[in-house]
Amino acid sequence: MLLKTKVAEKQRLFIDGEWFEAREYAPLYSPYDGEIITHIPMASEAEAEMAIQSAVKAQTSMRKLASYERSEILYNLTNLLKENFDRAAELISIEAAKPIATAREEVKRTIQTYRFSAQEANQLYGETLPMDAAPGGTGRIGYTKMEPLGVIGAITPFNFPMNLVAHKVGPAIATGNTVVLKPASQTPLSSLFLVELLQKAGLPKGAINVITGRGKTVGDYMVKHDNVKMITFTGSPEVGKQIREKAGLKKIVLELGSNSALIVDQDTDIEQVVSRCVQGAFSYQGQVCISLQRIYVHENLYESFVEQFVKETRKLKTGDPLDEQTNVSALITSNDVERALSWIDEARNSGAKICLGGTSKGNVLLPTVITNASPDLKVSCQEVFAPIVVINSFSTLDEAISEVNNSRYGLQAGIYTKDIRKAIYSTEQLEVGGVIINDIPTFRVDHMPYGGVKESGIGKEGIKYAVEEMTVQKLVVINNSIQ
Ligand code: NAP
């Protein structure tokens, strides 16, 4: 691997503004070529406890900061990220095998996410209440204010190691909370880099703590801890369900998986949409929560859509994530390659057609296009999280909508149609958190409300919405009638 960025041989935990060596370490391997990148601290429960206590203590200094000061820290961070843009992108690319061009896009979005957070820090409005609307309320003044919850436990996945951390850390700082961050074991480097920058940006000591290590150990410890007031989790539904069971009365936000779908109606100009659909299906090897996994194309267009889709997919280059030309690189683990290949085999053996791909080169699964797959196959009904797309045909819009809704998940769905009535009808019928008209379900910008229904999760992200989740509305009533 072409390592332009230097990575220290051994990483450290970040607790109470200090770097700590852990008692236990594990090698971090490149998902692409298996080389050791560095060694990662595997925090114990005792170290997780230190991080939580540090965050508890830092609440005092965070509460002393005015809104404009928290905003300024976040703006400082955006400037530092711009200054360190190349390093940030390379760290993501190295640890996650994310093609470098895609990693750069992630850093740009991360800067946006922190900028939105900086703006939101100055927008924490409450409301004035007409207390005298009730007979007993005469002579009283009522208003609400947004207050921080306290310590927020943030648990993040591997696939957007910088921007999905930003979706938790940005609003938490904006609202005056303190944070214990547990990044995914495969992608801790971008989080450790973030705290380096946050220190320089002026964040008070202890306001953010990073503990790396096994989710089952440190994640679980945080989830059960009484001093952690909220868990904001992005990851798989399996872990999300466990968190919900263990979190007790803590506030939780769960941003989970999906097998997102798109409807291509009969009036669509295929030429215009195919390359966008290919991008939605294969960007970051399909390891995106709103990756385009299922496409339902009107029967009149079906054959030419599949033909053009395959032609466009053939143009994708596979290989080293640090190579500028690479579009599709390695899956996050070799187990994921094996899992994806076995799901493709299941589809092949049950009569589906593998139009392209279906094999791997090392840990790179070649972009795979499957047609004629029944809804009960794993490639259709589970989250593939790999560069695999299933394309089927439909004859009526109701049939297509029912196929899209035939899923445990409901994060986002898309529809291409020129008919406004069909577009509006679809928004009413699709069981998802977001409907994207005339674009793929993979569309996301960082300030929009984002979150799913069914097994795709609970609660919303998108900075303004995360700010609401991370605050408590406190009511103040003043009796103004007593002299
Ligand atoms: P994952 O395996 O669920 O891991 C997510 C995080 O949870 C990691 O930090 C992991 O730590 C930790 N964890 C594991 N077991 C835990 C436990 N028992 N208690 C507490 N924490 C625990 O997910 P992933 O493979 O990293 O990410 C892929 C999944 O994330 C997909 O399902 C994808 O759809 C979803 N995702 C959703 C969104 C969204 O916004 N809806 C966005 C991106 C990704 P370790 O790494 O140490 O195991």
419-446 residue pLDDT tens = 999 999 999 999 999 999 999 999 999 9
Find the 137 Cα to ligand 1 centroid distance in Å. Answer: 48
Give the closest residue (by CA) to ligand 1 atom 34.
257
Nearest atom of ligand 1 to the alpha carbon of 222: 20
E-strand stretches of 16-139: 18-20, 25-29, 36-41, 128-129
Q: Encoding tokens for residue 323? A: 């190579």
Find the 385 Cα to ligand 1 centroid distance in Å. Answer: 12
Q: Encoding tokens for residue 331? A: 């899956």
CA 60 from centroid of its chain's CA atoms: 30
Partners of 474 in beta bridges = 145
Nearest atom of ligand 1 to the alpha carbon of 239: 3
Q: What is the mean pLDDT of the chain?
A: 97
Q: Is the full-model pTM beyond 0.85?
A: yes
Match domain 261-445 to its CATH number in 3.30.1490.190, 3.40.309.10, 3.30.56.10, 3.40.50.720: 3.40.309.10
Nearest atom of ligand 1 to the alpha carbon of 461: 40
Q: Encoding tokens for residue 434? A: 């977001």
Q: Quick count: other Cβ atoms within 10 Å of Cβ 64?
A: 10
Angle at 15 between CA 13 and CA 21, to 5 degrees: 35
Give the closest residue (by CA) to ligand 1 atom 18.
216
pLDDT, tens digit (0-9, with 9 covering 90-100), for 347-358: 999 999 999 999
pLDDT, tens digit (0-9, with 9 covering 90-100), for 377-413: 999 999 999 999 999 999 999 999 999 999 999 999 9
The pLDDT of 65-84, averaged and rounded, is 98
Yes or no: domain 13-256+456-475 corresponds to CATH 3.40.605.10: yes
Partners of 360 in beta bridges = 365
Using CB distances shorter than 6 Å, the residues near ligand 1 are 155-160, 164, 182-185, 214-216, 219-220, 223, 234-236, 239, 242-243, 255-258, 289, 383, 385, 411, 457
Q: Where in the chain is the domain with CATH 3.40.605.10?
A: 13-256+456-475
Give the closest residue (by CA) to ligand 1 atom 22.
215
Give the closest residue (by CA) to ligand 1 atom 28.
235
Q: Encoding tokens for residue 398? A: 């109701």
What residues are labeled active site?
Answer: 255, 289
Q: Where in the chain is the domain with CATH 3.40.309.10?
A: 261-445
pLDDT, tens digit (0-9, with 9 covering 90-100), for 57-69: 999 999 999 999 9
Residue 3's pLDDT band, with cuts at 50, 70 and 90, is low
Nearest to 457 by CA among 434, 433, 441: 433
